[in-house]
């Protein structure tokens, strides 16, 4: 696996003003990228949330801009990285760390979520986590963003 760091706030500890400026640019580029996809910014985020009493599985679906704002609300540090087309967002805060994979929803994924929330469809009765697992693991419902490739960033090859 090749990890490509797109943004890491820890790189700006000596100059937080530059870090804020770069973060605002990276955030805008990320949101613009997802808005231009067929589902116009609708994503699924699945991973873990670290709290004072442990680390727990978590996931949400929705518009990336709103989910990202919610995730950043209490974050002290943030890292966005791509591993072979998989996009991850890691945040740290006073209680622990959270790590989420972000995938773009397809039209079929949006339809499945709508049916689920209305209490119908093939996955009626599943837990939210089970629904998210099914969505995340099927290219019919979600797809890899391949964000680093979109940005033209290639992994550095070891010598």
* Residue 150 burial (10 A CB sphere; 0-12, 13-18, 19+): middle
* Tokens 């937080």, located at residue: 16
- How far, in Å, are 19, 28, 47, 66 from residue 10 at the CA level? 9, 19, 21, 23
Q: What's the N-to-C CA distance of the chain in angstroms?
A: 16
pLDDT digits (tens, 9 = 90+) for 104-138: 999 999 999 999 999 888 888 899 999 999 999 99
| Residue 1's pLDDT band (cuts 50, 70, 90) | low
As a whole number, mean pLDDT of residues 147-154 equals 89
pLDDT digits (tens, 9 = 90+) for 73-96: 888 899 999 999 999 999 998 889
Whole-number pLDDT of residue 36 = 93
As a whole number, mean pLDDT of residues 23-32 equals 92
pLDDT digits (tens, 9 = 90+) for 35-60: 999 889 999 999 999 989 999 999 99
Spatial separation of the C-alpha atoms in residues 147 and 4, rounded to whole Å: 10
Q: 98 Cβ partners below 8 Å, 6+ apart?
A: 47, 48, 49, 50, 58, 71, 90, 91, 92
Whole-number pLDDT of residue 20 = 87
Q: 125 Cβ partners below 8 Å, 6+ apart?
A: none
**What does the block give as tokens for 27?**
């955030």
Question: Are 61 and 113 spatial neighbours (Cβ–Cβ below 8 Å)?
Answer: yes
Question: Are 132 and 44 spatial neighbours (Cβ–Cβ below 8 Å)?
Answer: yes
Whole-number pLDDT of residue 76 = 87
| Residue 145's pLDDT band (cuts 50, 70, 90) | very high
Residue 158, pLDDT above cutoff 60: no
Whole-number pLDDT of residue 157 = 61
Question: Are 110 and 39 spatial neighbours (Cβ–Cβ below 8 Å)?
Answer: yes
Spatial separation of the C-alpha atoms in residues 46 and 135, rounded to whole Å: 10
Whole-number pLDDT of residue 8 = 87
Spatial separation of the C-alpha atoms in residues 131 and 42, rounded to whole Å: 16
């Amino acid at each position: 696996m090749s990890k490509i760091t797109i943004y890491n706030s820890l790189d700006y500890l000596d100059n937080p003003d530059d870090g804020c400026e770069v973060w605002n640019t990276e955030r805008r580029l990320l949101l613009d990228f997802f808005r231009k996809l067929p589902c116009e910014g609708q994503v699924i985020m699945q991973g873990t949330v670290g709290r004072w009493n442990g680390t727990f599985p978590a996931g949400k679906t929705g518009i990336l801009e709103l989910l990202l704002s919610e995730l950043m609300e209490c974050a002290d540090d943030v890292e966005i990285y791509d591993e072979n087309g998989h996009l991850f967002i890691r945040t740290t805060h006073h209680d622990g760390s959270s790590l989420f994979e972000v995938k773009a929803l397809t039209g079929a994924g949006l339809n499945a979520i709508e049916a689920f929330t209305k209490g119908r469809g093939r996955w009626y009765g599943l837990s939210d986590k089970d629904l998210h697992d099914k969505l995340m693991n099927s290219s019919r419902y979600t797809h890899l963003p391949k964000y680093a490739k979109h940005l033209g960033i290639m992994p550095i090859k070891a010598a």
